[in-house]
Chain A
Amino acid sequence: MRKVSLFIISIVLLLVLSACGGDGNKEITIGSKTFTEHYLLAKMSTLLLEQEGFEVNETSNLGSTALRKALENKQVDLTWDYVGTGLVTYLGEDPMSDPQAAFDKLNDIDQEQHDIVWTNLSELVNTYTLMMREDHAKELGISSLSDLADYVNENPNDLSVATNAEFYNRPDGLPGVEETYGFEFPDANVNEMDTGLTYNALRDEEVDVAMGLSTDGRIEAFGFINLEDDQKFFPAYNATAVMTTETYEAYPEIEEIFEPLSDILTSETMIKLNYLVDIEERSVDEVAREFLVENDLIEE
């Protein structure tokens, strides 16, 4: 009996101690979506915040709308997201192509309606893209989305496309592209699959066109080209940090902590980092750490 109560007491003590261990009150939950770039951004944020004495929990692998809900419900305090996604998908506004204007509008609406603050607008643009194998695209004479539209209108059943369920249904996804450029892939030619697999499907010639994200390292490695968005349909998808107002007010320093990072994030940098993870198969943790150390943002 005594042993049991000793055991219970020690467990309780352990719990109490661990609850007030460290700087216990600076706790934060970072969420991320289901692709490499997001893992990297979440990892970098974690490393930066940990250096400043935060205790960080990571919740990864959320679909973008699930992540947004988690943020609204305060299950996630902070994440990275894209201005265009916020404006069009979360708020149902019209797409805007000027990043700063979109960012300001987003903040106006979101702070008022959902207690969510967008900070650290970066030059990293990760837009949706439709990709083709370079040789195949050349053979068919397609280099832009307008070319694609013309080709599909002439040969409606010739090309098949791979997309995930999100892009296939989002207003700023395939339906919007088809409306803007005036063409339509027949239902039977659309293959819906998990996000990352579209690249493999295109590489293995199982489809002719695939959706991708413009900063993905595989585009270059697999010999794809991004079809040019010549009518500027895709809105500004600049990456920014997003947090709940509560977090923003409790830790105003976060914006400053992230500033040196958001200042150096560009699409080119991100393509390189994604490449290291996806093609060279290095770990997210290693790549994120190395990048921050190289830029003197964290100590080794």
Chain B
Amino acid sequence: MSRNKRISLIVKIFFWAGLIIFFSWAFMNDMFLPIYEETGAFFNLMGEHMLLVLISGSLAILTSVPLGIFLTRPRFRKAEFFAVNVANLGQTIPSLAILALAMGFLGIGMKAALVALFAYSLLPILQNTIAGIDSVDEDTKDAARGMGLTNTQILWRIELPNAAYSIIAGVRTALVMNIGTAALAYLIGGGGFGVWIFTGIQLFDNAYLISGAVSVSLLAIAVDYLFRGMQFVLVPKGLRLARQAVS
């Protein structure tokens, strides 16, 4: 066993041990009580949380991916600087401030939270789309052109499959951050697991706090794995093998 492998094994053991200790402590101290005592409320909050993420996330994907493709076309290249900086704004303003700003014109509730989460998710997807398409080998595109493919065909058959890995990585990052940030939606009446987290903070009741926080983490992990699976399906086998060979 190499030194690196040994270290990673030790880290893994500690990680899993920590996780097991945490969960057994939590179960023994009834920290998950709210989940089975108020199952109805739990599913309600989960529904709200997932709805927040689903709508704001899909809108962000539907905006950022086409925009990224558009910005990598030679003719519109010049707009890239502008667009990326606008998306940057959405990311650099603290999420709480975006929430408050959105509330100013959309009122209290889910709508304002959706706008804030949408703005927050744009940048990672946009940047990864642009970077993914940019990283496609020029020689490959030349060869395709030589075979008589049109620009549209090159986009669909060469550029997008090659960029898929990077684009989905961007989506994963954006969604995982989105799920965490959606916990703040409570503050403006947007619902979601944030309700339990803030109940826990305000009442100093760790059971609510942990039930809410663990649910958010599990949701984020689940979504991350879902998109990893999608990455596996969408990225062509040849590219996957090439990536493995390099690493």
Task: List A contacts of B202 (CB < 8 A).
Answer: 63-66, 164-166
Interchain CB contact under 8 A, A191 and B199: no
- When the two chains form the complex, which single residue of A162, A169, A187, A192 contacts B203, counting CB atoms closer than 8 Å? A169
Task: List A contacts of B191 (CB < 8 A).
Answer: 191-192
Interchain CB contact under 8 A, B189 and A170: no
* 191-236 of chain B: CB within 8 A of chain A: 191, 195, 198-199, 201-205
A200 within 8 A of B: yes
Interchain CB contact under 8 A, B198 and A206: no
Q: How far is the CA of A201 from the CA of B190 in the complex (A)?
A: 12
A287 within 8 A of B: no
Q: How far is the CA of A282 from the CA of B186 in the complex (A)?
A: 28
Interchain CB contact under 8 A, B199 and A206: no
Task: List B contacts of A187 (CB < 8 A).
Answer: 40-41, 44
Interface residues, chain A, CB within 8 Å of chain B?
63-66, 68-69, 162, 164-166, 168-170, 187-188, 191-194, 197, 200-201, 204, 206
Interchain CB contact under 8 A, B199 and A204: no
Q: How far is the CA of A197 from the CA of B185 in the complex (A)?
A: 13
Task: List B contacts of A68 (CB < 8 A).
Answer: 204
Task: List A contacts of B195 (CB < 8 A).
Answer: 165, 192
Q: In whole Å, how far is B165's beta carbon from the nearest beta carbon of chain A?
A: 40
- When the two chains form the complex, which single residue of A66, A165, A169 contacts B186, counting CB atoms closer than 8 Å? A165
Interchain CB contact under 8 A, A191 and B40: no
Q: How far is the CA of A188 from the CA of B110 in the complex (A)?
A: 13
Given contacts A193-B108, A201-B107, A204-B107, 4 further A-B contacts (CB under 8 A): A65-B203, A164-B202, A187-B41, A197-B188
Interface residues, chain B, CB within 8 Å of chain A?
40-41, 44, 103, 107-109, 186-189, 191, 195, 198-199, 201-205
Task: List B contacts of A204 (CB < 8 A).
Answer: 107-108
Task: List A contacts of B41 (CB < 8 A).
Answer: 187
Interchain CB contact under 8 A, B107 and A66: no
Top-8 shortest CB links A-B = A193-B189, A65-B204, A165-B199, A166-B202, A194-B187, A63-B202, A191-B189, A201-B108
Task: List B contacts of A170 (CB < 8 A).
Answer: 203
Q: How far is the CA of A165 from the CA of B199 in the complex (A)?
A: 5
Task: List B contacts of A165 (CB < 8 A).
Answer: 186, 195, 198-199, 202-203
Q: In whole Å, how far is B64's beta carbon from the nearest beta carbon of chain A?
A: 29
Task: List B contacts of A64 (CB < 8 A).
Answer: 202
Q: How far is the CA of A66 from the CA of B40 in the complex (A)?
A: 28
Interchain CB contact under 8 A, B189 and A192: yes
Interchain CB contact under 8 A, B204 and A69: yes
Task: List A contacts of B199 (CB < 8 A).
Answer: 165-166, 168-169, 192
> Which of A63, A164, A165: most chain B Cβ within 10 A?
A165
Q: Can you list 18 pairs linking A and B with CB atoms under 8 Å apart?
A: A63-B201, A63-B204, A66-B201, A66-B202, A69-B204, A165-B198, A165-B199, A166-B199, A168-B199, A169-B199, A187-B41, A188-B44, A191-B189, A191-B191, A192-B198, A193-B186, A194-B188, A201-B108
Interchain CB contact under 8 A, B187 and A206: no
Task: List A contacts of B109 (CB < 8 A).
Answer: 191, 206
Task: List B contacts of A197 (CB < 8 A).
Answer: 103, 108, 187-189
Q: In whole Å, how far is B99's beta carbon from the nearest beta carbon of chain A?
A: 10
Task: List A contacts of B103 (CB < 8 A).
Answer: 197
Task: List B contacts of A168 (CB < 8 A).
Answer: 199
Q: In whole Å, how far is A275's beta carbon from the nearest beta carbon of chain B?
A: 22
Q: How far is the CA of A166 from the CA of B195 in the complex (A)?
A: 10
Q: Residue on A with the closest CB to B190?
A: A193
Q: In whole Å, how far is B221's beta carbon from the nearest beta carbon of chain A?
A: 25
Interchain CB contact under 8 A, B204 and A191: no
Task: List A contacts of B205 (CB < 8 A).
Answer: 169
Given the known interface contacts A169-B203, A191-B189, the answer about A200 and B108 at a Cβ–Cβ threshold of 8 Å is yes
Task: List B contacts of A69 (CB < 8 A).
Answer: 204
Q: Residue on B with the closest CB to A162?
A: B189
Task: List B contacts of A191 (CB < 8 A).
Answer: 108-109, 189, 191
Q: How far is the CA of A188 from the CA of B45 in the complex (A)?
A: 11
> Which of B44, B191, B199, B204: most chain A Cβ within 10 A?
B204
Q: In whole Å, how far is B232's beta carbon from the nearest beta carbon of chain A?
A: 39
Q: How far is the CA of A204 from the CA of B202 in the complex (A)?
A: 25
Task: List B contacts of A192 (CB < 8 A).
Answer: 186, 189, 191, 195, 198-199
Q: In whole Å, how far is A152's beta carbon from the nearest beta carbon of chain B?
A: 19
